[in-house]
Amino acid sequence: MAALRATHRDPTDCAFPAVVAPFSSTPLFVMQGRYDPALTSIASGENEKNASHVNAIGRHLVNLLHDTVLQKPANAAFVTACAEHCGQWSQGVDGDFNVTINGQSALPFLLQWRAGDAAGKSLLQAPGDSFPCAECCRGGPPQPPNVSLVLLTQAAATEGAVCLDGSPPALYIDRGDPEHFLIFQEGGGWCSSPLQCSERANSTLGSSAFDPPWSTTQMSSESFLSNDPMVNVPFWNWTRVFLRYCDGSSQTSDVSNPMAIEGPAPVSPIYYRGARVRAAQEAYLVASAGLGTAKEVVIAGCSAGGLSTYLHVDKWAAAVPAAKVRGMADSGFFL
């Protein structure tokens, strides 16, 4: 952290993976679509006219990955020529992972990395696969598992760990092999102003009040959380956890007092407690869900959750010092 502060004087720099990743001591496996629309901000109907801009961003993304994340020998990357976000960049039309680079798809490459055979390597689709590339990437919906809801009401009461609206943090868990955990951090962007965060507080991205006790949809966007061994080769029988995202800051905020929102009508206060939410989720999993005795743990996430992987993976690793911990960031390398 001291080296990070010495190199980057602006605290906001630390919200960017290209800045944080070189200082992270936990190995990372990066999954990314080179033309991720969350980076390019290009609507699908405007792709053709913005092709030059999108390709420039894609080249910049690849160069940054090489210069930062892949400078660490233990890290690896699978980067497609897809214009997709969160999992879809490597799914085939039938929901299996058949988008290949040099004849290899994402999950077998991930298994090689887990075994130590792909560390320091990267698989990137050829530069000739420029945007738009209709045949480079096709998406298909994965098969979601059933998961049960845990509301962290005690942490909300004693630690002040609450969502934007003051409701308790939540997570979904599908218990499998107790020695192996996949912990997935939900994405959903940030809110950038008190009023925007207040509006967000009345949605699933700012509150746990809307969370059903059982869900077949919360995990549906990520095949890595599936319990189908044909879809989720590495993790199908692991204990899989879906961390609900309700703070709007990738778990970085920590303001003690609630913020009153001024508007044309009275608006309920909002709570910036993302860091406490993450800590409460971690504490529950370590003490009550078996994470404390796990032998292997993968910390993952997509979009804002992928960013959380870069920002917090070392904290998770410190919480389970006896386990082999790896980070897996999906579409979280924001520029």
DSSP 275-312: HHHHHHHHHHHHHHSSGGG-SEEEEEEETHHHHHHHHH
Look at residues 304, 331, 287, 191 and name the one whose alpha carbon lies nearest to residue 243.
Answer: 304
pLDDT band at 320, cuts 50/70/90?
very high
For residue range 192-222, what is the model confidence (pLDDT) as tens digits?
Answer: 888 899 999 999 999 999 988 765 555 555 6
Statement to judge: residues 300 and 184 lie in one domain? yes
Statement to judge: residues 101 and 209 lie in one domain? no
Domain count along the chain: 2
Which of the residue ranges 36-40, 144-148, 253-257, 295-299 would you say has the lowest mean pLDDT? Answer: 144-148
Does residue 137 form part of some domain? Answer: no
Q: What angle do CA 324, 328, 334 make, to 5 degrees?
A: 140
From 93, 124, 155, the end of a domain falls on 124
Does residue 136 form part of some domain? Answer: no
Q: Which residue has the higher pLDDT, 74 or 280?
A: 280
In sequence order, what DSSP letters do the residues of 37-50 get, joined into one string?
Answer: HHHH---GGGTGGG
Does residue 169 form part of some domain? Answer: yes
Strand, helix or coil for residue 110: helix
Stated pTM of the model: 0.73
Q: Domain residues for 81? A: 2-124
